Amino acid sequence: MRIVIAGSGEVGFHLAEQLVTSHQDVVLIEKDPQRAKFVADHLDCMVVQGECSDPATLAEAGVDEANTFIAVSNLDEVNIVSCLVVANEFDVKTKIARVRSIQYRRSGILNNTSLGIDYVVNPEIEAARAIMNIVAYGATGEVLVFDDTDIQLRSIFVDENSIFRDKTLREARVAMSHNFIIAGISRDEELLIPYGDTRILPGDRVYIVASRQNMERIFARTGLKRQELHNVVVVGGGKIGCYVTEFLLGSGRSVKIVEKNYQHCKYLAERFPEALVINEDISDDKLFEDEQLYTSDLLVTTTPDEALNMLTALYAKSLGIKRVVPVVNKSSYINIADKLKIDAIVSPKASSVSAILKYVRRGNIKRIYSIFDGKAEAIEFAISPLSRIAGKMVKEMQLPNGTLVVAVNRSRNGESKNFVPNGEFVIEAGDNVVTFAKAEQVDALEELFLS
């Protein structure tokens, strides 16, 4: 299946990298010659240099043979026009556009079928949703939820004092006495799909799947007990900051917004009269004392400066703020977050890629998450009566190496039940099945779950 991606910025490059790893036929279109050369040198895919809205460039990229066209350039207008050209000049089943401007959404223009856009992804909204999930569960780490279930996937960093330290998976389950599964372990920049005898070491990050209730119990046992976060500081009044503020105020929380641009502060004060808008530079260390920000329960940093977001979060933590959540994209920052005691990291890049993958992957997919910088994916499949795995035990499914069935949600007669399945568990039509897979095995996993 050919997938053409227009734009090789952070989202386009990361998306292409992940799709190439899962054995997809990917073509990237990039306008800038130097960037196109860089991408060609670093990715095992075809790169076409040119305007992604130019029919000749699109033809050179083989769009007429593509199943999916994804426009993720840095300009909304280019993405919209590119999808329009593809819809009118080529026969492509799925067209996806990244559109940041909220004005396009409010105007309703994106609902116009003549534009040819099948799905719209907004990176700021996706990042804000991730932050909302984190805050709703006490900001003890990233929270990945699955549709129509209370199954969650969360991760825990294993330090010297962790209850998981030096235990095998079997020993960890006995020690916890709660129903859960460890789906993956990240160790030394590698992702492991563990088995019963796999031993958990200090410095590991373990990915856990469990029901919401059991997850709360597990986190409490590890010392990460959920806390109520009433007083919140949002640093940066951009799109992400505004979306997060809307959620926080709507949930009854007290919000202070710190924004250094005076004119934008006037806009924020009008848009959020319930919030306290502070026109200051967050890098001024006196601000925390003058405005008593150090008494807050949570600080979320959403400025475009990723280094500032990290440093502000660290400084806030040193002053005693309970929880901090910086917004960053760089893998280097994400990888050191555990060592710096950052409570949770949100990556707009990863959130956007996860949203796009839902429409790219094959099968009846309800939810998908890109994990560990694209090295793994958590995918929720809905099982139809025609599915080849309906009626089979998990051990009969012939799962590809590097993949696991980690949870099953079963709703019957208005009652919903969650299962952490063993090999004898029988998958039934109507189930929602949550899987965990290394990126290079996703294509084989999709094939298995196709109806």
> In the structure encoding, which two tokens stand for residue 295, read together?
């008494």
In this predicted model, which residue has the larger pLDDT, 438 or 178?
Answer: 438
- Count H helices and E strands in the chain, helices first: 15, 21
What letter does residue 393 receive in the DSSP assignment?
B
Please tell me the predicted confidence (pLDDT) of residue 71: 97
pLDDT for the residue 114 = 67
pLDDT of residue 142: 85
Architecture in CATH of 143-221:
2-Layer Sandwich (3.30)
Rg (CA), the chain: 23
Q: What DSSP line would sit under 179-245, residue for residue?
A: -EEEEEEEETTEEE---TTPBP-TT-EEEEEEEHHHHHHHHHHTT-------EEEEE--SHHHHHHH
Q: Return the higher-pLDDT residue of 226 and 136.
A: 136
List, for residues 385-429, the tens digit of each pLDDT value: 989 899 999 999 999 998 999 999 998 887 888 888 889 999 999
Mean pLDDT value across the chain: 91
Fold exhibited by the domain 127-133+229-345? Rossmann fold (3.40.50)
For the entire predicted model, the pTM comes to 0.86
Q: Which pLDDT score is estimated for 112?
A: 64
Q: Over 90: is that where the pLDDT of 195 sits?
A: no
Tell me the average pLDDT across 79-99.
Answer: 94
Does this chain's domain 127-133+229-345 share its CATH topology with 350-449?
no
- 169 CB-near residues (< 8 Å, 6+ apart): 182, 194, 195, 196, 197, 198, 200
CA distances from 168 to 162, 179, 196, 200 (A): 13, 16, 7, 6
Where along the chain do its domains lie?
Answer: 2-121, 127-133+229-345, 143-221, 350-449
Of all residues in the chain, the percent with pLDDT exceeding 90 is: 67
**Residue 285: is its pLDDT beyond 90?**
no
**In the prediction, which pLDDT does 106 show?**
67
Whether the predicted pLDDT of 314 surpasses 90? yes
pLDDT digits (tens, 9 = 90+) for 9-51: 989 999 999 999 999 999 999 999 999 999 999 999 999 999 9
Q: Do 258 and 287 contact (CB within 8 A), yes or no?
A: yes
Assign 110 a pLDDT band (cuts: 50, 70, 90). low
> With bands split at pLDDT 50, 70 and 90, how would you rate the model's confidence at 338?
confident
The yes or no reply on domain 2-121 and CATH 1.10.3720.10 is no
Superfamily for the 350-449 domain: Regulator of K+ conductance, C-terminal domain (3.30.70.1450)
pLDDT digits (tens, 9 = 90+) for 44-63: 999 999 999 999 999 999 99
Share of the chain above pLDDT 70, in %: 97
Instruction: Tell the burial category of 177 from Cβ atoms under 10 Å away from its Cβ (0-12, 13-18, 19+).
Output: exposed
Give the pLDDT mean for 143-162.
87
Amino acid 85: pLDDT: 95
Reported as a single tens digit per residue, the pLDDT across 315-337 is: 999 999 999 999 998 877 777 87
**Residue 198 pLDDT level (bands cut at 50, 70, 90):** very high
